[in-house]
């Protein structure tokens, strides 16, 4: 199969995915801005005034990177999980699998759509946060690399969820019982240095800790974990998830009866 054919297929899938969430932007792009505004008002202004500083900066500045990362994680995951499962449920994913299109092209097309939505939401939430706190970016390229790797990882996670899901209810189980707890325990609202030594050690098993801290270091230069080690962890997880997704689609897991 020629490379131009794969590139055309990749572009088509990506445009279709972007058009899907942009067509209903009121449902996909506006809610994260509203949700984050509430977080800023409640946790930043009201609670933050009582807490004062954390990590040498105001509490509001401390939580902004984590809140942006929460939006990225949620939107990258949900976009691919819902879209791929809908294609599977309507049985049009089978047309892609029998077409002269590589499995990797299909994966990259869907993941690219999830990453695009996550990045747009990240920009929207960042703009909203600028009304509440001055943003002093310390390491711009670290921010870009971290957000892209995180969005890619959770887009792949949403794809894996959709592959195994048998009903629409199944795609909400992991976000509800796994993703949400890991996010809230991922250092978004606190520094893990406040925890006892044992729980600091346990917290390092949470992959979201690495994403939030690398992202936070890019913004304010404060991190509980070495930022570049965190990037290495993200790269490893991305490669693992990508390999698993490719293998499952090659085998037709959850698709071929």
Contact yes or no for 21/113 (Cβ under 8 A): yes
> Which one, of 64, 78, 40, lies nearest residue 126 by Cα?
64
Backbone torsion region of residue 204, taken as left when φ is above 0, otherwise alpha when ψ lies between -120 and 50, otherwise beta: alpha
pTM score of the predicted model: 0.91
Average pLDDT, stretch 232-241?
Answer: 95
Three-state secondary-structure class, residue 54? strand
pLDDT at 180 exceeding the cut of 90 = no
Between CA 176 and CA 180 the distance in angstroms is 6
pLDDT at 169 (0 to 100): 82
Per-chain mean pLDDT for the chain? 88
pLDDT in tens, 38-96: 888 787 667 766 777 776 788 888 888 999 999 999 999 999 999 999 888 888 877 77
Q: Where do the DSSP E strands lie in 59-155?
A: none
pLDDT at 2 (0 to 100): 53
Report the percentage of the chain scoring pLDDT > 70. Answer: 96
**Extents of the domains making up the chain:** 3-251
Q: 57 - beta bridge partners?
A: 54
């Amino acid at each position: 199969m020629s490379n131009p054919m794969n590139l055309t297929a990749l572009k088509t899938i990506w445009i279709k995915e972007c058009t899907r969430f942009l067509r209903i932007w009121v449902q996909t792009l506006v809610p994260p801005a509203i949700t984050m505004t509430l977080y800023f008002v409640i946790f930043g202004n009201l609670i933050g005034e009582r807490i004062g500083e954390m990590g040498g900066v105001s509490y509001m500045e401390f939580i902004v990177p984590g809140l942006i990362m929460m939006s990225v994680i949620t939107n990258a995951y949900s976009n691919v999980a819902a879209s791929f499962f809908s294609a599977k449920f309507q049985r049009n994913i089978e047309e892609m699998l029998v077409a002269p299109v590589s499995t990797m092209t299909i994966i990259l097309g869907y993941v690219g759509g999830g990453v695009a939505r996550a990045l747009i939401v990240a920009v929207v939430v960042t703009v909203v946060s600028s009304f509440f706190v001055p943003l002093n970016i310390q390491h711009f390229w670290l921010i870009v690399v971290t957000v892209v790797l995180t969005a890619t990882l959770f887009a792949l996670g949403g794809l894996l969820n959709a592959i195994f899901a048998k009903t629409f209810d199944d795609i909400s189980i992991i976000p509800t019982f796994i993703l949400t707890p890991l996010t809230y325990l991922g250092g978004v609202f606190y520094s893990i240095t406040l925890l006892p030594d044992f729980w600091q050690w346990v917290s390092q098993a949470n992959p979201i800790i690495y994403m939030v801290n690398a992202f936070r270091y890019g913004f304010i230069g404060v991190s509980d974990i070495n930022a570049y080690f965190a990037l290495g962890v993200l790269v490893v997880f991305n490669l693992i998830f990508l390999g698993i997704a490719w293998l499952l689609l090659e085998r037709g897991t959850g698709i071929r009866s």
